[in-house]
Amino acid sequence: MMRQTIREYGRLTTRPVVSSLHEAQIPATAFDWLCLLCEREPGLGQLRNQTTLQWKSFVGVLRTPCGLELEIVPKTQLEAATAKDCRELLVRMLSKVLDMPFRETGEADIRLFSLPLTEWVARQFLLRLHRLLQRGLRCEYQRVEVEQTCLRGQLDVRRQVCQLPHRRHLFHVRHDVFNVDRPENRLLQSALRVVAATVRDAENWRLAAAARPLLAGIPPSRDIQGDFALWRHDRLMVAYDAVRPWCELVLGNGMPRAIAGQQTGISLLFPMHDLFERYVALSLRERLVPGAWLETQPGGRFLCLQEGRNRFALRPDILVRYGEQKWILDTKWKLLDCEDSENGIRIQDVYQLFAYGQQWLGGDGDVLLVYPGHAAFPDSVPLLRYKNSSLRLIVATFDLATDALLCAPDVATLLPWLKQAPSQR
């Protein structure tokens, strides 16, 4: 299988080039398939010319029908960052978003950063599946209605009375069977089959081979979405909680963007704007001082009225309450350009924060634009104030290495709801 790795906004071409994170050569069949995919999903990429396709802000892994495995890693503020560095950043962000404890326990975990993302996802699923199998799969009683020669269970009197004379030696009975065939186990079987047919890493293959006999008696799911809807979350199913998000990723149920076409194996795509937003929200929630409260994607406010009906819903990324005060935060996955006259800040984002501040803060308070960390920020962007308003605009940066929110002039003064020391991973 052919593999290529690029960064966000990297270029894919059929021309002979020296492959790098900025540009990579792919087969013509894969290029044509990706062009058709981008026509159906314009947010994935943009055709520059007949031989070049520029990818957009989606990261993850995509497999084409011809066998190409394309890995897209996030851009970072370091131009010299390698694919391993970018992949480590993505792994850390996904680990937090998927509620997986992230820690390095040895060389084996560090080595996973050099593996393709599909192998890393497969490893996480297999490890959690093995822990579940060690504790034992949950079974449930299922009602069975059969016709047999012996009386076992409860006799179905209505059907037995209607039994034909030549079949009166058979009994219509119903009874309960303690069976392992339940929605959660069927989904695990389906995910394991996908992983076993996909992995190339020797350790992943060994883990998959060891798990297959333990799930051999369970049929695969015939309705992926239906079985996920039936997945139970009661106290008896606590052991299944850790494996579910990885099962969703493997089976495609958790993909933010559905990929059409004939796909084999694991294909994962994540919009970096959404991933960065969720990562920042989860990181800040861990650092709230007592009494502070954080809400993501709050609703209920609108920009306009039309004949008594609300129009143009406003939904900021993060709303923080502390005492009687509120703060609005809007995340932007973009590296600011310090050489630009406006520091690379889009005027549309400034308008957007002004509308949020008017609706949620009544035009009096602080709104924040949060960007990924950059070497020249936040010192180069002082506090801004909207004209003819008590609303202030704070340009902050989020350090992805330490999960620290930084802004000028002083975080402790401007953001009293935030603990100063970032939580330890």
The per-residue pLDDT for range 345-368, each reduced to its tens digit, is 888 999 999 999 988 888 889 999
Averaged over 78-91, what is the pLDDT? Answer: 78
The reply to whether the predicted model has a pTM over 0.95 is: no
Give yes or no for residue 144 having a pLDDT over 80.
Answer: no
Distance CA 362, CA 19 (A): 52
The region that residue 312 occupies, defined by phi over 0 for left and psi between -120 and 50 for alpha, beta otherwise, is left
Query: In this structure, are residues 48 and 37 in contact, taking their beta carbons and an 8 Å threshold?
Result: no
- DSSP tag of 15: S
Distance CA 250, CA 82 (A): 26
pLDDT band with cut points at 50, 70 and 90 for residue 206: very high
pLDDT band with cut points at 50, 70 and 90 for residue 79: low
Give yes or no for residue 291 having a pLDDT over 80.
Answer: yes
CA 4 to chain centre: 22
Query: Could you confirm whether domain 286-414 is CATH 3.30.70?
Result: no
Averaged over 205-210, what is the pLDDT? Answer: 93
Mean of pLDDT over the chain: 82
Residue type present at position 196? A
Give yes or no for residue 231 having a pLDDT over 50.
Answer: yes
pLDDT reported for residue 322:
92
Strands 23-25 and 11-13: parallel
pLDDT reported for residue 176:
74
Which residue, 64, 54, 218, is CA-closest to 132?
Answer: 218
Query: In this structure, are residues 33 and 66 in contact, taking their beta carbons and an 8 Å threshold?
Result: yes
pLDDT band with cut points at 50, 70 and 90 for residue 261: very low
**In DSSP terms, which residues pair with 178 in a beta bridge?**
141
Q: Which residues are within 8 A (CB) of 289 and not within 5 positions of it... i.e. 6 or more apart?
A: 322, 416, 417, 418, 419
* CB environment 363-396: b (16+ within 10 A), e (fewer): eeebbbbbbbbbeebbeebeeeebeeeebbbbbb
Give yes or no for residue 419 having a pLDDT over 90.
Answer: no
Helix, strand, coil percentages (3-state) for the chain, rounded to 5, are: 35, 25, 40
What are the residue ranges of CATH 3.40.1350 in the chain?
Answer: 286-414
DSSP assignment string, 243-299: THHHHHHHHTTT-SS---S---S--EEEEHHHHHHHHHHHHHHTTBPTTEEEEES--
Q: For the chain, how far is it from start to end, CA to CA, in angstroms?
A: 36
pLDDT reported for residue 378:
53
DSSP assignment string, 176-230: EEEES--HHHHHHHHHHHHHHHH--SHHHHHHHHHHGGGGTTSPPPS-HHHHHHT
pLDDT reported for residue 380:
59
Q: Beta-strand (E) ranges in 315-383?
A: 318-322, 325-331, 364-372
The helix-helix angle for 202-211 and 183-198 (nearest 10°) equals 150
Radius of gyration, CA atoms only, the chain: 27
- Which own/partner contact pairs does 341-346 have at CB distance under 8 Å and 24+ positions apart? 343/377, 343/380, 343/381, 343/395, 345/369, 345/395
**In DSSP terms, which residues pair with 288 in a beta bridge?**
418
Give yes or no for residue 14 having a pLDDT over 50.
Answer: yes
pLDDT reported for residue 77:
65
Q: Which residue has the higher pLDDT, 408 or 369?
A: 369
Name the helix (H) or strand (E) containing 140: strand 140-148
